[in-house]
Amino acid sequence: MLQDSLSEVLSMFPIGVDHEEEVQVLNSRNFTQWREGRRVVELGILADGLRACAKCGLPLQFGHTTSILTCGLSAILKIPCSNTVCSHVNNIPTGKRQERIWDANVKLATASINAGLGERQVNTLLSGLNIPPVSHCMMSARQKDVGVALQEVEKETVDQALCEEIELTKK
């Protein structure tokens, strides 16, 4: 029940959409650089994005990726269409997002609060997994957002428990 309440509160995002959660861009000057390391990817989202070019409808090829825009744990892959007449560069997300707030980053902030980890400990863990680090600004913003949501859930839970206690006391 608490998990459902937390999910409802977190669905109220975007909170604090003042900046993109950008860490770094790996570009086409080194075609293999985007292949280095590991990434957090929602396979369904990636598969849907690769289904067809946004301009001509031809299926995209993951291997044609020219660059990656890393946004915390998530990313946008730049994949040009293989149709030489089209050559449209498609922006393929690796996960879900609400406006400019990536779900994976909100979940990372929630997990870090739950585990009592700060940005340095999170980045140490990510480094051990060969996943690019997340920025201090992104972690701080998402932790603040999650903290507000957790406080709202906490208040609802305490109010509900108090009402139940009052009813039991009356009986």
Give, for 147, the enclosing helix (H) or strand (E): helix 136-170
Q: Which residue has the tokens 């913003």?
A: 141
**pLDDT for 67 beyond 80:** yes
Name residue 91's beta-bridge partners.
78
Cα torsion angle, 34, 43, 129, 15, sign:
positive
* Per-residue confidence (pLDDT) for residue 171, from 0 to 100: 84
Read off the pLDDT of residues 126-167 as tens digits, 9 standing for 90 and up: 999 999 999 999 999 999 988 888 888 889 999 999 999 999
> Is the per-residue pLDDT at 8 higher than 80?
no
Tell me if 86 sits within 8 A of 55, measured CB to CB. Answer: yes
Side chain identity at residue 35, one-letter code: R
The number of distinct structural domains making up the chain is 1
Domain range enclosing 41: 2-170
Other beta carbons within 10 Å of 93: 19
Task: Summarize the confidence of residues 30-38 as an average pLDDT.
Answer: 71
CB 146 within 8 A of CB 113: yes
